[in-house]
């Protein structure tokens, strides 16, 4: 069974549009892009489209690839001080001459709708965050809409990134799941996945999760999408696993949910600041 993240994401954005009618003004999201990375531009176009569905004002500030770190910091401080901008993201990756951590930490945590600042990550650790990293939050919402039981279930997360694996593991633990974290270098991953009720694979390793590694009826969330020879390959052997399990497709699964959660976070940030 395929879990249709795209339709769920569109429904969330439609509800945000209706909710926005009760606010004093439309929420506003500012996106800063340094350079002209084609993948980044594609992601930004998707964010702009979802912002329109969610009733959010969208602003793109595109800077030249040779923009200095200090110049970028000045723009971030300007946006931080603008009371009519509720959410701010700096599109990653940044050029090599700019330190990513320095830039992320410069964002006002109240406007950090990506949930990347150390303050918001600390709140996530404590279970008190309202601006939660968008991909993990989107995965949790997918599980919720599918009425997937988490409390007491065996859950395997394959991937240890700061963007997906680590924060998602915290969210699942906070929800009562029994969580095992693996990565693409874990020996005999199948030993762990064969007893899992839920598997989230976000390792960036095409075809890592095979049919023999999952039990029938398992819920599988595939986050991996790796470009190889002009094609995007998934972390799961989708064609073999899909008849046995509930599974998210790539594209159309976690990706749209990530963007929908960005819009939801922008609404939350707006309500907190208005």
Inter-residue contact 273 to 23 (CB < 8 Å): no
CA distance 249 to 247: 6
- For 118, other C-beta atoms within 10 Å of its C-beta total 12
Q: Which of 99, 87, 26, 37 is nearest to 62 (CA)?
A: 37
Strand-pairing partners, residue 33, are 62
Residue 114 annotated as catalytic: yes
Vertex 21: Cα angle to 19 and 25 (nearest 5): 110
Please check whether residue 60 is in contact with residue 47, taking contact to mean a CB–CB distance below 8 angstroms: no
Q: Among 28, 47, 111, 137, which one carries the catalytic annotation?
A: 47
Helices 165-174 and 118-126, axial angle in degrees (round to 10): 30
Catalytic residue among 86, 108, 112, 114: 114
Residue 140 burial by Cβ neighbours in a 10 Å radius (0-12, 13-18, 19+):
buried
Question: Which run of H or E residues covers position 258?
Answer: helix 254-273
236, 213 in Cβ contact below 8 A? no
Distance of CA 14 to the CA centre of its chain: 19
Q: Which of 86, 91, 112, 137 is catalytic?
A: 91
Residues classed as catalytic:
47, 91, 114
């Amino acid at each position: 069974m395929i879990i249709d993240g795209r339709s769920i994401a569109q429904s969330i954005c439609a509800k945000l549009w209706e909710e926005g009618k009760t606010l004093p003004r439309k929420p506003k999201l500012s996106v800063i892009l340094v350079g002209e990375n084609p993948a980044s531009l594609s992601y930004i176009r998707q964010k702009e489209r979802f912002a329109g569905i969610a009733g959010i004002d969208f602003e793109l500030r595109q800077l030249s690839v040779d923009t200095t770190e200090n110049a970028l910091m000045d723009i971030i401080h300007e946006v931080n001080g603008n009371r009519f901008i509720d959410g701010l993201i700096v599109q990653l990756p940044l050029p090599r001459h700019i330190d990513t951590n320095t830039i992320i930490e410069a964002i006002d945590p109240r406007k950090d709708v990506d949930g990347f600042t150390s303050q918001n990550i600390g709140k996530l650790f404590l279970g008190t965050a309202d601006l939660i990293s968008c991909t993990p939050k989107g995965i949790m919402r997918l599980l919720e809409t599918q009425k997937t039981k988490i409390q007491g279930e065996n859950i395997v997360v394959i991937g240890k990134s700061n963007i997906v694996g680590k924060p998602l593991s915290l969210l699942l633990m906070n929800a009562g799941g029994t969580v095992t974290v693996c990565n693409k270098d874990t020996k005999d991953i199948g030993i762990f996945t064969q007893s899992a009720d839920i598997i989230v694979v976000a390792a960036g390793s095409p075809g890592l999760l095979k049919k023999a590694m999952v039990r029938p009826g398992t819920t599988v969330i595939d986050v991996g999408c790796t470009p190889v020879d002009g094609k995007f390959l998934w972390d799961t052997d989708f064609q073999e696993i899909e008849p046995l399990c509930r599974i998210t497709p790539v594209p159309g699964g976690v990706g749209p949910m990530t963007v929908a959660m960005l819009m939801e976070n922008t609404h939350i940030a707006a309500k907190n600041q208005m």
